[in-house]
């Protein structure tokens, strides 16, 4: 599903002569895998996740997504892939605070141009699935951390993606709710979704089917 | 994203940032108020000017002879000079029956007396043709008729001032009162016998002028002061002797001609001069005044006023636009994270741009609506205070104003929205 060949990412920094976040990274992930990416801060985990999730373009090398080289896709092409192919789960949830839980989940569907009535019933179903029935009209500010992350998961699933990307999904949660969210991700993986998760926590990483350790912009070992 | 959803999001944002929205709203409202006011004022000015022109007539000219006081010293004083006569007017009428109006005028002065009241007044000698120009009056009794002219009747018609709906401030400081007008305002003289000079006349009609604010003549001041007492020109010639001293014996003051159209004035000017000179053997020193020229000058003045008003309106809405731009820019800086989130879940640059533009347009629309309501109220208030004709609201004015407000929102949001769409999603997501 995902193939990275000699992937490089350099950030232009004025003081340094460019900061190289990824240094010729090689990676291959099959459909249906649950991959945990670990490593110390600044090793390039998030950069890699951003590139895999089409938020960023690599500076060099090739990124093949389902056989297509997407490394040189335009901004709007990448937007389209983000919309329909991947779902993002963030450490800080990144929900829109002025929207209700339901509206947060509906948002990606609306960007896809679906009609309002459809999105409402589907968003309701997704919220029910992540265990938030009855909280549809709550604002994220009225929800607990665990509940917010569930809204985040429901939103990530809005457009039936093939790939779920989670950046420290339990980083802001207590251990009990963290475990609940992990169970949810594991469940989704079992249902066929490819999951890539960035984490510091080796316990959580242990739940994945494969662990990738990164160091200094490359994969260790 | 559908427009209805963008509108919903926009409304949500507008209501969430109440103060920010209010300020933009306020700026736009003021812009719209001034645009509405400008439009109404310009429309009303234009309307009144047109009305005044219609009343005066586009094809007007005044034929008179040069007075001795107007002559230069180099002129030969002994040169024979004729004055215009009533017969000249009749001849013009006969030669050019197609002319809508040939109105001879003659002036004199005399003491007007009724009971104990005495007041010196200017008296105009006219024919029935007088009625064909600048008629804005409401008649009580009757106007002079051909029989009055033919029989040298001792009848007169009095013009009663319209007064003001609301006296302007300067009028209050300027305490001058017209005794004659005060008298006829408070005493009904219709049907009464009055003395005028050495003779007695019957007042057969009162011509009531409209209030000054409504009188097109007030707006485009083209008429000469002719006095407020009108008698048949034949009677004036016979009984009051005509003349202010400088006119030739038996001559009349002027002949007012209406050719019906501005374009025909030069043609008739030549023809009329030819006919008149032929009648007087070339001894007339004609002075023909073309009203078209005067009207042009007056119109240019009015137009300058209108542009001034319009520019002020435009500046106000520009200020509103800058307000919107400023607020939209500020909004974007406070919503960088949101932009990042939206981009991460798949919004394109276009989606982000559209969102901010729609929000600004919505704000423009709402501000515009408020501005329209306020200004309509204000204009109604001004109108109810008497300046009815000065404040003419047309159905398309609110429409134009709202479109201007929405357009301002759109234009003002373009740059900030473009800036927002250029944000790097990764950077924006990291922003706290």
pLDDT digits (tens, 9 = 90+) for B204-241: 999 988 877 667 666 666 556 677 899 999 998 888 76
Cβ(B155)–Cβ(B137) under 8 Å? no
Q: Can you name the residues that pair with B203 across neighbouring β-strands?
A: B156
Give pLDDT tens digits for B365-419: 988 898 888 888 887 777 666 554 556 778 888 898 889 889 988 998 899 999 9
Contacts for B53 with CB less than 8 Å, ≥ 6 apart: B220, B295
With left for phi above 0 and alpha for psi between -120 and 50, is residue B115 left, alpha or beta?
Answer: left
pLDDT value for B73: 45
Tell me the C-alpha distance between B205 and B190, whole Å.
6
Out of A159-168, B7-16, B74-83, B385-394, the most confident range is A159-168
Q: Distance between CA atoms of A130 and B274, rounded to whole angstroms?
A: 103
Give the pLDDT score at B247.
Answer: 46
pLDDT band at B245 (very low <50, low <70, confident <90, very high): very low
Give the Cβ contact number of residue A120 at 10 Å: 16
Q: Which of A142-146, A179-183, B186-190, B236-240 has the lowest mean pLDDT?
A: B236-240
Q: Any chain A CB within 8 A of the CB of B340?
A: yes
Asked if B341 lies within 8 A of A82 by C-beta distance, the reply is: no
CATH for A32-58+75-219 (3.30.1280.10, 3.30.1330.90, 3.40.50.300, 3.40.50.970):
3.40.50.300
Gap from B415 CA to chain A (nearest CA, Å) = 19
CB contact (8 A) between residue B337 and residue A159: no
Contact B82, B284 (CB under 8 A): yes
Domain ranges of chain A: 32-58+75-219
pLDDT tens track for A120-171: 999 999 999 999 999 999 999 999 999 999 999 999 999 999 999 999 998 8
Q: Determine which of A133-147, A198-212, B175-189, B417-431 has the lowest per-residue pLDDT on average.
A: B175-189
Provide the pLDDT for residue B246: 44
- For residue B219, the model assigns a pLDDT of 63
pLDDT, position B35: 81
Interchain pair A98, B4: CB under 8 A: no
Average pLDDT of the residues in B18-27: 82
* B1 in contact with A, Cβ within 8 Å: yes
Considering only the beta carbons, identify the residue of A55, A107, A111 that sits closest to B425. A55
What would the mean pLDDT of A42-62 be, rounded to a whole number?
91
**Structure confidence at residue A123 (pLDDT):** 94
- Contact yes or no for A110 and B347 at CB 8 A: no
Least confident residue range of A58-72, A101-115, B2-16, B256-270: B2-16
pTM, to two decimals = 0.70
Tokens 């009724």 appear where?
Answer: B114
**Residue ranges per structural domain of chain B:** 3-53+298-430, 67-284
Report percent pLDDT > 90 for chain B: 21
């Amino acid at each position: 599903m995902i193939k990275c060949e000699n992937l490089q990412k350099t950030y232009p920094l004025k003081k340094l002569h460019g900061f190289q976040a990824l240094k010729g990274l090689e990676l291959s992930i099959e459909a249906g895998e649950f991959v945990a990416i670990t490593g110390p801060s600044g090793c390039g985990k998030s950069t890699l996740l951003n590139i895999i999730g089409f938020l960023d373009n690599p500076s060099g090398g090739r990124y093949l997504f389902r056989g297509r080289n997407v490394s040189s896709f335009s901004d709007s092409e990448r937007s389209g892939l983000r919309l329909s192919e991947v779902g993002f789960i963030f450490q800080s949830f990144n929900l829109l605070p002025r929207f209700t839980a339901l509206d947060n989940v509906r948002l990606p569907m609306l960007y896809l141009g679906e009609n309002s009535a459809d999105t409402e019933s589907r968003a309701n179903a997704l919220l029910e699935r992540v265990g938030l029935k009855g909280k549809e009209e709550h604002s994220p500010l009225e929800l607990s951390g665990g509940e917010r992350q569930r809204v985040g998961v429901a939103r990530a699933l809005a457009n039936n993606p093939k790939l779920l990307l989670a950046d420290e999904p339990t980083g802001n949660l207590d251990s009990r709710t963290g475990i609940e969210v992990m169970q949810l991700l594991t469940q989704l993986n079992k249902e066929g979704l490819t999951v890539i998760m960035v984490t510091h926590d080796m316990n959580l990483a242990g739940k994945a089917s494969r662990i990738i350790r990164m160091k200094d912009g490359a994969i260790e070992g | 994203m559908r427009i209805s959803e963008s509108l919903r999001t926009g409304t949500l944002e507008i209501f969430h940032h109440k103060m920010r929205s209010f300020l933009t709203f306020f700026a736009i409202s003021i812009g719209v108020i001034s645009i509405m006011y400008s439009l109404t004022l310009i429309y009303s000015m234009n309307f009144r000017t047109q009305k005044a022109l219609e009343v005066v007539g586009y094809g007007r000219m005044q034929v008179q002879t040069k007075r001795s006081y107007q002559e230069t010293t180099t002129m030969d004083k002994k040169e024979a000079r004729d004055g215009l006569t009533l017969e000249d007017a009749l001849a013009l009428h006969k030669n050019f029956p197609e002319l809508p109006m040939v109105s001879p005028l003659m002036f004199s002065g005399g003491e007007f007396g009724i009971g104990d009241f005495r007041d010196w007044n200017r008296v105009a000698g006219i024919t029935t043709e007088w009625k064909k120009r600048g008629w804005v009056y409401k008649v009580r009794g009757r106007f002079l008729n051909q029989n009055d002219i033919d029989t040298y009747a001792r009848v007169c018609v009095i013009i009663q001032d319209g007064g003001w709906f609301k006296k302007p401030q300067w009028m209050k400081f300027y305490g001058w009162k017209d005794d004659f007008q005060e008298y006829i305002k408070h005493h009904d003289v219709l049907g009464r016998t009055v003395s005028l000079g050495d003779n007695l006349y019957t007042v057969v009609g009162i011509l009531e002028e409209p209030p000054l604010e409504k009188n097109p003549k007030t707006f485009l001041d083209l008429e000469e002061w002719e006095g407020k007492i009108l008698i048949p020109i034949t009677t004036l010639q016979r009984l009051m002797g005509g003349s202010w001293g400088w006119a030739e014996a038996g001559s009349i003051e002027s002949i007012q001609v209406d050719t019906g159209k501005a374009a025909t004035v030069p043609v008739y000017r030549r023809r009329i001069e030819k006919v008149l000179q032929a009648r007087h053997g070339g001894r007339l020193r004609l002075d023909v005044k073309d009203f078209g020229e005067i009207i042009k000058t007056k119109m240019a003045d009015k137009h300058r006023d209108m542009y001034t008003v319009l520019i002020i309106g435009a500046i106000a809405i520009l200020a509103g636009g800058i307000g919107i731009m400023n607020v939209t820019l500020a909004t974007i800086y406070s919503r960088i994270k949101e932009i990042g989130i939206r981009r991460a879940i798949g919004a394109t640059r276009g989606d982000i741009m559209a969102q901010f533009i729609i929000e600004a347009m919505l704000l423009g629309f709402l501000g515009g609506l408020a501005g329209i309501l306020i200004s309509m109220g204000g204009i109604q208030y001004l109108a109810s205070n008497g300046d009815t004709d000065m404040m003419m609201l047309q159905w398309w004015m609110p429409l134009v104003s709202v479109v201007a407000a929405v357009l301002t929102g759109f234009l003002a949001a373009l740059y900030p929205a473009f800036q927002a769409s250029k944000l790097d999603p990764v950077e924006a997501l990291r922003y706290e």
